[in-house]
Structure 1
């Protein structure tokens, strides 16, 4: 089940996902794998086996849904598992279907996740290894740098 509507942007809604496995995920998995990304598949596997269900304190999984209810983007917020320091969150498993990119949906999703992160964290980190990802996160205000373990970007909230 999905929590109540959180934000509506035009015909799109950003909602917190409470039960990932109840959603239609085939398009996200298929397209991400074609692009050489395995993290959407890992998201599902980790969720199924309970390794990461985005349900600990300060954690959440969000989706962007089109007017017809299709999931077009997804992203999660976790306590950073790569550090023992408190106050560091991590954006994980972020993916936007190709045909929905470059129209602001990804930025809106990250900004919503940052709003949530401010309630729990001082710093938000992430890892990307693509130039497109680097450009995207830099445009939102993230700084490129390896100050935090297993991360490529960070932002002080």
Structure 2
């Protein structure tokens, strides 16, 4: 079993995230770079009620996975959360780390949100989220998957 810990990130600017940005961009994903830019300019700092940004760190203290929860900006319902900016380094995938991180984020979200939505456009993402109990959305252009949270 891998040795890692999950922490709520209170200041993203104090963490080296450059390796996640580089790997995600090489894979065609720009959302980790967008996470940093939005955090820097104050557009999204994951600090509203129920929101949070979480990181998984390996035994050397290196960030290996990240993900956050926001109030869904596409709905007018403050009880709908949106899973965002979720990324696990390739070398740590399929080891339970992503599952652990999502479950921790959803556990914290239960205090505020009744439903969590997300958008993914990859087959791997679809498989991953449905394996966690998310249902596929049909006909809503703002999200591809959702899960209802039990309080």
Q: With the length of structure 1 as denominator, give the TM-score of the two structures.
A: 0.92
User: Deviation above 6 Å: which 4+ runs of structure 1?
Assistant: none
Kindly indicate whether residue 107 of structure 2 is the aligned counterpart of residue 120 of structure 1.
Answer: no
Structure 1 residue 148, shift from structure 2 partner: 5.0
- Deviation string 1:48-101 (CA, Å, 9 cap, x unpaired) is 000000011110000000000000000000000001023100000000000000
d(CA) in 2 for partners of 1:93 and 1:34? 16
Q: How does 1:75-154 map to 2 (within 5 A)?
A: 75-146=67-138, 150-154=142-146
In structure 2, the residue matched to 1:64 is 56
Structure 1 gaps of 5+ residues are: 1-8
Give the RMSD, CA atoms, in angstroms. 1.2
d(CA) in 2 for partners of 1:147 and 1:64? 33
Aligned pair count reads: 149
Structure 1 residue 146, shift from structure 2 partner: 3.9
In structure 1, the residue matched to 2:17 is 25
d(CA) in 2 for partners of 1:129 and 1:22? 30
d(CA) in 1 for partners of 2:54 and 2:138? 26
Q: With the length of structure 2 as denominator, give the TM-score of the two structures.
A: 0.95
d(CA) in 2 for partners of 1:82 and 1:36? 24
Structure 2 gaps of 5+ residues are: none
